[in-house]
Amino acid sequence: MIDSHHHFWKYQADEFGWVTDEMAVLRQDFLPQHLEDAIAGTGVDGVITVQAKQALAETEWLLDLAAQNSLIEGVVGWVPLKDPSLGAILDRLKSNAHFRGVREILQGASDAEFFDCPEFHRGIRELTLRGIPYDLLIFHHQLDSAMRFVDEHPNQRFILDHIAKPEIGNVFAEQWAKKIRELANRKNVFCKFSGVATEVRESAWDVKLIRPYFETVLEAFGCDRLLFGSDWPVCLLRTDYRRWISAVRELCAPLSVDECKAIFSETARTAYVLSPASVPAIPSD
């Protein structure tokens, strides 16, 4: 099994300003040995490590961790996508077998800063030229802008993080569902079922509450474009690792063995080109 989304960090208050007093559980180091303890007995034997800071130094550090830990199958790092020298940076990083993708923290950013920025689009084209996937981190209200952006790059493989972070409550987010279905019509977009528990606005969550969100992305993207992710350690704000993976297993219970295998491992291998080494073609209608 592959966890397609988690983070490592050495906590420093000045570098993690987004960690508020209410998030005190995150004010500590989270390193490979801590993740190994969290996943013990869950069946997870491979992970995709995703950037948490917008710093090239962190990307290099994560790649070093991957070289030392067989659990880490790939790293989705940060690179300066607007930098004129991006091509050279990507070529250097791509020589590392663990470098499998790029992410920028777009959630809450203005369209002018990224989606309507020519330099940002140029950077995405550099990724496309090299077959490097791009993780799309947005809030649900950015879905229209994200679709317009994706349409500018039909040959780029995108992986939507955290099902676009809808506000999850007792009233189902119909507008989010409508936009998710529209986004899923773009066959070059994959979706991670991750970071969901932390978007629950109720005092507690259970499988019944999140089931409509799972069923929506499953129907929209299908098993071959849907990935399991934990968002550990951020998930600790609302759940522990075992409870989350147990919940997703319960959601997947009606599916076939092959469909479950896709969600829990094979789609991640395709999306991040973990194996085989060749770059897969973008699915067509």
Q: List the domains of the chain with CATH numbers.
A: 2-271 (3.20.20.140)
Does 276 have pLDDT greater than 50? no
Give the pLDDT of residue 279: 44
Question: In whole numbers, what is the pLDDT of the chain averaged over residues?
Answer: 95
pTM: 0.94
Rounded to whole angstroms, how far apart are CA atoms 230 and 4?
7
Over residues 219-227, the mean pLDDT reads 98
Give residues with Cβ within 8 angstroms of 208, minimum separation 6: none
| pLDDT above 70 as % of the chain | 96
* d(C-alpha 29, C-alpha 263), whole Å: 29
Q: What digits encode the pLDDT tens for the residues 89-109?
A: 999 999 999 999 999 999 999
pLDDT digits 0-9 by tens, 114-154: 999 999 999 999 999 999 999 999 999 999 999 999 999 99
* Burial status of residue 153 (CB atoms within 10 A of its CB: 0-12, 13-18, 19 or more): middle
CA–CA distance, 226 with 266 (Å, rounded to integer):
10
Identify the residue with better confidence: 279 or 148.
Answer: 148
